[in-house]
Amino acid sequence: MPDNGPLSVAGIIGAQIDQICKKVRLHDRNRILGVGFALPGFFFGDHEHMRVVDEHASWRQEPLSELFARALDVPCWIENDATAA
């Protein structure tokens, strides 16, 4: 990806959600309960800001759950990848 910032990634994920909805004939996106993300890194204590790998350093200052929820228009949850596993 030329831009690996969180908004760019959210755009890609949003397009994938749209494709899945079309494939399963889900016409009412309000039926999506939420989207979860597992990211490598650890939280700074507020479960919003993560210390992520250097390749995604631009993500460190972003309120990730809020950012993804706004961009995707569904509730979002961010979790550490090891905890999610």
Query: What pLDDT score does 71 carry?
Result: 93
Query: What pLDDT score does 30 carry?
Result: 80
Alpha helix (H) ranges present in 1-85?
6-23, 64-72, 81-84
Of the candidates 9, 5, 17, the one whose C-alpha atom is nearest the C-alpha of residue 61 is 5
Q: What parts of the chain have a pLDDT lower than 50?
A: none
Model pTM?
0.82
Residue 63: both structure tokens together: 């309120």
Query: What pLDDT score does 2 carry?
Result: 66
